[in-house]
């Protein structure tokens, strides 16, 4: 048994595991959906076995408390990182103002093979947001206001940002640069049935020159094209605050040969029904992240650093610094000079 453990603890296998981990990290860069989580998980578990065998069989490790703590920390990091990749969840979602989070709207979804979270129970309602910009369109602080339910059935306000996530049941919602304006539209069919929804325009101010989108009414084959002419106080050369509550937008509707400009509250008769532009609204894009090992990874990292510090401290304590002896010949040379 010990023979096999010593072989497993070989530094050659360590180098092989690190090479496989580097390849896996390269393949996983950017989190492509088609790459399996195992390309990172397998090398991490291989390195964990290698470290475990080294801890058991090498006296230079298991008989030195600091070095032992350091390797146990590394072992914990490898195992926790592997578990994190197997249970992780990542996605992106756009949430309209005054609307609730909807799982069906998520995009770029990546789920670890062992993920067992309860994202379907997540509830929050998007409110208004503001984004600070410095001259040159350098994005500053984002303050996205949301409402989350409490245990008493009421809704509590919370502010979310790029570095201040909304955390619910382990899921972290971070604001992103992807946000913009939306037109709230009501479509009334010829039979009198009405439906109201929001039409998201491209990200703003990234695509300030291209605030266009299209929509095909239900039961129709004719596409309606929209363009939103905004007044936001946008100034690329000065500090500026993006605030939807202080912005105005005229909705330009193109349907065939018709080009109509609508103010909020105005409507237009179109083939198949009546379209009303209710109001200018906004939407916020979030990155969703879930990894149950984050806290334990931090503890393991601190254990690793502490073990390494303890090892070098004890090493320096056992080997006090001594003043080197000067060469007698050098003394004579100095005197002669």
Instruction: Assess whether 30 and 132 both reside in one domain.
Output: no
Could you give the dihedral angle defined by the CA atoms of residues 263, 267, 268 and 273, in that order, rounded to the nearest 10 degrees? Answer: 150
250: buried, middle or exposed (CB in 10 Å: 19+, 13-18, 0-12)?
middle
Read off the pTM: 0.83
Q: Are residues 28 and 174 in the same domain?
A: no
Number of helices followed by number of strands (H, E) in the chain: 7, 15
Based on the domain organization, do 106 and 71 belong to the same domain? no
By C-alpha distance, which of 190, 198, 251, 181 is closest to 218? 190
Helices (H), the chain: 2-8, 11-28, 38-57, 59-62, 65-87, 294-318, 328-336
Looking at residue 176, what is its pLDDT?
95
In a domain, 125, yes or no: yes
pLDDT at 16: 93
* pLDDT for position 179: 96
**Cα angle for residues 211, 212, 218 (degrees, 5° grid):** 140
Structure-block tokens of residue 237: 């050369």
Q: Are residues 187 and 60 in the same domain?
A: no
Q: Which residues in the chain show pLDDT less than 50?
A: 334, 337
| Residue 153 shares a structural domain with residue 280 | yes
In this structure, the answer to whether residues 58 and 162 fall within a common structural domain is: no
DSSP 8-state secondary structure symbol assigned to residue 100: B
Q: Classify residue 330: in a domain, yes or no.
A: no
Token pair, residue 261, equals 């400009």
Between the alpha carbon of residue 150 and those of residues 120, 163, 164, the distances in Å are 17, 23, 19
One domain, residues 64 and 84: yes
Task: Summarize the chain as % helix, strand, coil (round to 5).
Answer: 35, 35, 30
Residue 49 resides in a domain: yes
> At 246, phi and psi to the nearest 5?
-110, 20
- Whether residue 72 is contained in a domain is answered as yes
CA dihedral for 42, 43, 47, 50, sign (positive or negative): positive
How far apart, in Å, are the Cα atoms of 143 and each of 7, 34, 99, 130, 158?
A: 55, 34, 17, 5, 10
Q: What are phi and psi of 184, to 5 degrees?
A: -85, 115
Whether residues 184 and 310 share a domain: the answer is: no
The single-letter DSSP state of residue 310 is H
pLDDT at 257: 75
Answer yes or no: do 133 and 18 share one domain.
no
pLDDT at residue number 334: 47
Is 323 among the domain residues?
no
- Say if CB 173 and CB 160 are below 8 A apart: yes
| Same domain? 296 vs 283 | no
Taking only the tens place, the pLDDT of each residue in 42-75 is 999 999 999 999 999 988 888 888 889 999 999 9
The per-residue pLDDT for 329 is 58
Tell me the β-bridge partners of 50: none
Question: What range defines the domain where residue 262 resides?
Answer: 92-290
In this predicted structure, what is the pLDDT of residue 306? 94
Are residues 177 and 38 part of one domain?
no
Which tens digits make up the pLDDT trace of 131-161?
999 998 899 999 999 999 988 889 999 999 9
Rg (CA), the chain: 30
Domain annotation covers residue 327: no
In a domain, 332, yes or no: no
First-to-last alpha carbon distance for the chain, in angstroms, is 68
Two tokens, residue 64:
């030195």
User: Could you tell me if residue 35 is inside a domain?
Assistant: yes
The count of structural domains within the chain is 2
Helices (H), ranges, 128-271: none
CA angle 323, 328, 329 (to 5 degrees): 130
Q: What is the pLDDT of residue 326?
A: 56
The residue written with tokens 């984050």 in the block is 294
From CA 332, how far away is CA 329, in angstroms rounded? Answer: 5
Whether 157 contacts 146, CB under 8 Å: yes
Determine the Cα–Cα distance for residues 164 and 195; give it in Å rounded to an integer: 35
pLDDT at 335: 54
Please give the structure tokens belonging to residue 82.
Answer: 């592997």
- pLDDT value of residue 32: 76
Structural contact between residues 250 and 221, judged by C-beta atoms closer than 8 angstroms: no
The answer to whether residues 143 and 286 belong to one domain is: yes
């Amino acid at each position: 048994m010990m023979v096999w453990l010593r072989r497993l603890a070989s530094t050659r296998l360590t180098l092989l595991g690190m090479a496989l981990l580097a390849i896996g990290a390269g393949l996983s860069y950017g989190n492509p959906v088609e790459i399996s989580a195992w390309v990172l998980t397998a090398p991490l578990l291989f390195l964990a076995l290698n470290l475990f065998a080294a801890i058991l069989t090498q006296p230079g490790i298991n008989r030195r408390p600091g070095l032992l703590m350091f390797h146990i920390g590394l072992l914990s990091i490898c195992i926790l990182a592997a578990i994190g990749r197997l249970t992780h969840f990542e996605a992106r979602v756009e949430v309209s103002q005054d609307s609730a989070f909807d799982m069906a709207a998520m995009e770029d979804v990546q789920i670890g093979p062992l993920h067992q979270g309860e994202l379907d129970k997540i509830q929050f309602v998007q409110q208004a947001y503001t984004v600070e910009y410095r001259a040159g369109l350098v994005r500053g602080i984002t303050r996205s206001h949301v409402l989350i339910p409490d245990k008493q059935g009421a809704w509590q306000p919370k502010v979310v940002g790029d570095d201040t996530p909304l955390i619910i049941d382990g899921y972290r919602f971070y604001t992103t640069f992807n946000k913009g304006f939306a037109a709230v539209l009501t479509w009334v069919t010829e039979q009198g049935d009405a439906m109201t929804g929001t039409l998201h325009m491209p990200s703003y101010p990234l695509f300030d020159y291209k605030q266009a989108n299209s929509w095909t009414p239900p039961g129709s084959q004719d596409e309606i094209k929209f363009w939103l002419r905004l007044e936001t106080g946008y100034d690329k050369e000065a500090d500026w605050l993006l605030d939807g509550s202080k912005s105005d937008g005229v909705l330009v509707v193109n349907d065939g040969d018709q080009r109509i400009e609508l103010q909020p509250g105005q409507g237009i008769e179109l083939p198949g029904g009546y379209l009303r532009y209710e109001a200018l609204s906004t939407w916020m894009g979030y990155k969703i992240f879930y990894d149950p090992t984050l806290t334990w990874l931090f503890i393991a990292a601190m254990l690793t650093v502490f073990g390494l510090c303890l090892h070098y401290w004890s090493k320096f304590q056992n080997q006090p610094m001594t003043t080197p002896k000067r060469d007698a010949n050098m003394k004579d040379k100095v005197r002669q000079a």
